[in-house]
A and B are shown apart, each in its own frame.
Chain A
Amino acid sequence: MEIESQLVVLCIEAACRSKESIEKWRRQRRTLERMPSVLADALLHRLLHRRLLFPSLLEVFKNSVEDVDLRGENAVDAEWMAYLGAFRYLRSLKLADCYRINSSALWPLVGLTRLKEVDLSRCVKVTDVGIRHLTFISTLEVLRLSGTSPTEDGIMLLSSLRELSVLELGDLPVTDRVLSSLQVLRKLKHLDLWGSQITNKGVSLLKNFPKLSYLSLAWTGVTLFPNMPSIEYLNLSNCTIDTALEGDGYKAPLAKLILAGTKIQNEADMFSWIGSSSISYLDVSNSSLVDFSFLSEMEALEHLNLSSSMMGDDSIEWICCIGANLRSLNLSKTRVTSAGISKLAEHVPRLEVLSLSHTLITDASISFLGMMSSLKAIDLSSTKVKGFIRQEGAEPNEIASLLSLLSLNSLESLKLEHTQVDDAALMPLSNMKELSHLSLRSASLTDTALHHLSKLSKLTHLGLQDAVLTDKGVGSFKPPGALKVLDLSDCWLLTVDTLVSFCGRHPLIEVKHEHLRTSSSARTGSGSSRSPSSSSRRSQGYRKQARRPATSLPVSRYFIDQRLKYNREEMLAMQYQPMCLLTTQEMEAAVSYMQSN
């Protein structure tokens, strides 16, 4: 839960400042016991993020904390668990990716009477013994075990946890026999069986879970489509589906259907098993589908992912049919061309997010994008877009194609990476007042582009990777006031001095470049140790960092690469003085070597 009170945030920061400050409050036992769980939870997690939490300190929270999230914490081991086992009010414990957690480490949890959620995803040392411990926690409602190491028999033990409503068993040896024994879990709503050994026989057992609404059978050998009356979310990615479960004419009332990478043997039948009219999210990326006529019935569709599918201009009419409610559409890596986009333009009045990356789209399509008035984000990376349209006629001339995007008043994000768009073509962008994210990775751009973009007052993220920017260009660049991130990676002409002095002048902008890698990580380190609530202090922190003379950079004493030591001008000046870097001793050695030859 997010803490809103400003003073509470300041107190938590003050409490977590150092080991010494912890010692000042950790013995206030009675206060700690009275502490509302919202505050105790926030304090515990702040200590964790500040790397100040250690097992014996956990003890002070045993009468207050309800939710503990230790996901990905490498240090968490049996000793931590011993203390957590004393947390009387513990309701949720997340230990995903804590690789030191083994079966016996789970034993202390057995006595907890309020524990409802345990996440052990990818704790590979948890085996049948651990599962047996968990079965004593009869209050469990949510259990995530994907990627742990139980056997079939171990998983079958879970059938005693009758309160379970969410069960994740991905990548486990769940067979039809196991699933059969789990049928007693009548409250199950969410079942994840990705990568399991379930077969079609097992799928028919799924009918016995009356409340099941979320089901994942991704990466299994199942070929039956589970059309059950309760299912709302279904993931069949990377399966091969040929027929439907013998049903009573049920149509699954799906809201979200994932068929990414799915092979569909009998396309014509496939969508007759689904209550198509309820689907709002459909992912058929990388699937084998050829005929897209099924789309025509999916009137409620809001999110459609057709990336790397067989979709092309000839099938685009099916998207037009259901375009009225579409919010996001991914057509990347398809055969769609400008001709297809021209058909689509009038039929997607609510489309906000459109990806056309890695398609053969040209500048001709941009005028049609300009007609999709709700667009907020467009991805045109790796397309044939050049930024100019050649007008034939008596006096052939070129017009900037990106001008058409000016009609999109809500456009916030534009990606044009790996295109041939050059400085001149980018001119129209300087009038897009709402743009906040702009990615322009391209070797055709120079300082001129940078200066066009300084007018974009709402720009927060700017990427100009690979561009031919010079020290002079960056030196005179006046960044927009809102800019937070400036990515100049692979702008190979830039020198450390220029980048450091730019950071010094603009302490609130995070600049990304190879030369800054070490110093910027140091900066984020110190930034996170400061109060996130007071921006003024943080900015002072940045300023202090940035004002450090260049000598405090990691290159100060030992130069690994001479290019770090000298700036470009100095390097150029030096190239005709081959001996100047040698010491007197080396010089003598070199002279004697030449003489001896």
Chain B
Amino acid sequence: MTEMRKEDTVKLISAEGFEFVINKEAAMVSQTIRNMLTSPGSFAEAQHGEVTFPEISTTILEKICQYFHWSLQYASGKETEFPIEPELTLELMMAANYLHT
């Protein structure tokens, strides 16, 4: 894979401070992140390309990032299943609800 340019990526930071650098297009699957990154000027997130989620644990944020990528693939016609471990369902559900994804 070719090196991703910095302006095409976004950094998502979990409650514990763990950083996930992902493709901006993937992150935009979340309506909440999309609003943060695209609304003109108002959010610091838009300028630095960084979003911190003090309420979302690293495990859940990792799963969310996986979902973003799965969702893009699914939309482009690659119909696979997105596996969710039962013990993560509640936390993931609440994060998904917050992120509008």
Residues of chain A whose beta carbon lies under 8 Å from any beta carbon of chain B: 4-8, 10-12, 14-15, 17, 20-22, 24-25, 28, 31-32, 34-36, 38-39, 43, 534, 536-537
Contact = CB atoms under 8 A, between A and B. Distances in A.
Contact of B87 (A8, A12, A24): A24
A37 to B, nearest CB: 11
Interface residues of B, number: 21
A25 B86 CA distance: 7
Given A39-B93, A39-B94, A537 B100 contact: no
A537 B81 contact: yes
B79 A15 contact: no
A14 B89 contact: yes
Given A7-B67, A7-B92, A21-B89, 13 more contacts: A5-B100, A6-B71, A7-B71, A8-B96, A14-B86, A15-B93, A24-B87, A25-B90, A31-B94, A34-B94, A35-B90, A36-B97, A537-B79
Contacts, number: 72
B89 A15 contact: yes
A10 B84 contact: yes
A381 to B, nearest CB: 41
Nearest to B77: A536
Contacts of B94: 31, 34-36, 39
A12 B71 CA distance: 17
B81 A8 contact: no
Contact of A11 (B79, B92, B99, B100): B92
A6 B84 CA distance: 13
Interface of B: 64, 67, 71, 79, 81-82, 84-87, 89-94, 96-97, 99-101
Contact of A7 (B79, B81, B86, B96): B96
Nearest to A34: B94
Contacts of B81: 534, 537
Contacts of A6: 71, 101
Contacts of B79: 534, 536-537
A43 B92 CA distance: 13
Contacts of A32: 90
A5 B82 contact: no
B93 A20 contact: no
Q: Is the interface of A mostly helix, strand, loop or mixed?
A: helix
Nearest to B92: A11
Contact of A15 (B67, B90, B99): B90
A235 to B, nearest CB: 41
A8 B92 CA distance: 8
Contacts of B99: 5
A508 B96 CA distance: 30
Contacts of A20: 86
Given A14-B84, A534-B81, A536-B79, A8 B93 contact: yes
Contacts of B93: 7-8, 11-12, 15, 35, 39, 43
Nearest to B64: A7
A21 B86 CA distance: 5
Contacts of A12: 89, 93
A11 B96 contact: yes
Contacts of A17: 86
Nearest to A539: B79
